[in-house]
Amino acid sequence: MEQDDTVGSIADRVRAPLETVLGERPTMEHVLLVLFLVVGVYMYQGASEFAPDAQTFPRLMAGGTAVLAFLLLARNYLTVVAPLVGAGLGAYLTYDGATAFLADGGGLVSLVAGVALLVAVVGFRERFGESVESFVAEPMQVMGDKETPDAPTDEADSEEAADQTSSDEESESAAMYVYEIDDPKGPVVTGLLCVGYMLLTFTIGMLYATPIFVVAWALWARMNVLKAVALTVLSFVTAYLFYDLIQDDIAEGWLTGWELPAPDDLLGLWIHAGDLLQWVVVIG
């Protein structure tokens, strides 16, 4: 009992300053957001090792992840934090675009985006902060009808509406895993899957690690089979297009140097195997 009191006292001492900084009670969601922030910053820096033409896409995705994770962590102070982040991002894009433009005539998109962002932040600071707050912090219904159902007219209608709501919630929870904000399972599993994805990327490369990660997440989330297959195929096609058009190093483990056969090589092997089988059948 005394040990439990000691653990609780330590937890309270840790939680109190975090609650002051965050402006709300810390939960496992904040732990997951910190993980996304760290991974985003790391991947943004790691993409600098790519060829210049191949840096744009991974840096855009990693930078977007880091910025959005930070804004979600600071969601209670967005009217102040958002203009500061926007000004910093605008200054960085302007400097990066201007440097590239002076060097080789490139970077025009970054330069224009940076200047536009600076103008928006400086000229419309309050409106900019309110817009970011509305986008980041306010709940949004992504799917389904936004209209609320009419109020039940009698007790029978009320019971029918309650049964319908319960049925809808059960069908929804059966399709996807949902968790309460204080339930550590969801954020912990998602975080472990992200760490596993990184380790797998360092081992066999991003090309095949990407669909494996999507399959693992879809199985854990109990996603509908057709949706899971479609999402997996889409992730693999996206990774393959990046491999084929931009940077073929993503098919290689960055730490191990291990490289699995590329899809076009596997297709060639299947074609040769089919020809060999046909030749064996003809000879036989």
pLDDT of 50-106, one tens digit each? 776 667 777 888 888 898 899 888 888 888 888 999 999 999 989 988 988 888 877
Instruction: Give the per-residue pLDDT at 116.
Output: 92
CA nearest to 117, candidates 83, 79, 80: 83
Angstrom distance (rounded) from CA 220 to CA 192: 12
Q: Say which residue, 160 or 211, is predicted with more confidence.
A: 211
Domain-wise residue ranges, the chain: 184-284
CA nearest to 185, candidates 27, 57, 37: 27
Q: Say which residue, 231 or 13, is predicted with more confidence.
A: 231
Instruction: Give the per-residue pLDDT at 141.
Output: 39
Task: Give per-residue pLDDT as tens, 168-183.
Answer: 544 444 445 555 556 6
Instruction: Give the per-residue pLDDT at 119.
Output: 92
Angstrom distance (rounded) from CA 227 to CA 170: 19
Mean pLDDT of 110-137: 86
Angstrom distance (rounded) from CA 13 to CA 281: 76
pLDDT for residue 199 is more than 80: yes
Instruction: Give the per-residue pLDDT at 142.
Output: 36
Task: Give per-residue pLDDT as tens, 231-266.
Answer: 899 988 888 888 877 777 778 887 787 777 777 676
Instruction: Give the per-residue pLDDT at 149.
Output: 46
CB 49 within 8 A of CB 57: no
Give strand pairing partners of 259: 252
Angstrom distance (rounded) from CA 168 to CA 150: 17
Torsion of CA 268, 236, 44, 97, to 10 degrees: 80
Q: Is the alpha carbon torsion for 129, 131, 137, 138 positive or negative?
A: positive
Tokens found for residue 151: 């109020």
**Residue holding tokens 């928006």?**
120
Kindly indicate the confidence band of residue 214, based on its pLDDT and cuts at 50, 70 and 90.
very high
Mean pLDDT of 128-153: 60
Instruction: Give the per-residue pLDDT at 88.
Output: 92
Q: What's the residue count for the chain?
A: 284
Angstrom distance (rounded) from CA 22 to CA 36: 17
CB 181 within 8 A of CB 29: yes
- Helices 108-123 & 78-104, crossing angle to 10 degrees? 150
Q: Which residues of 146-175 are buried (b: 16+ CB within 10 A; e: fewer)?
A: eeeeeeeeeeeeeeeeeeeeeeeeeeeeee
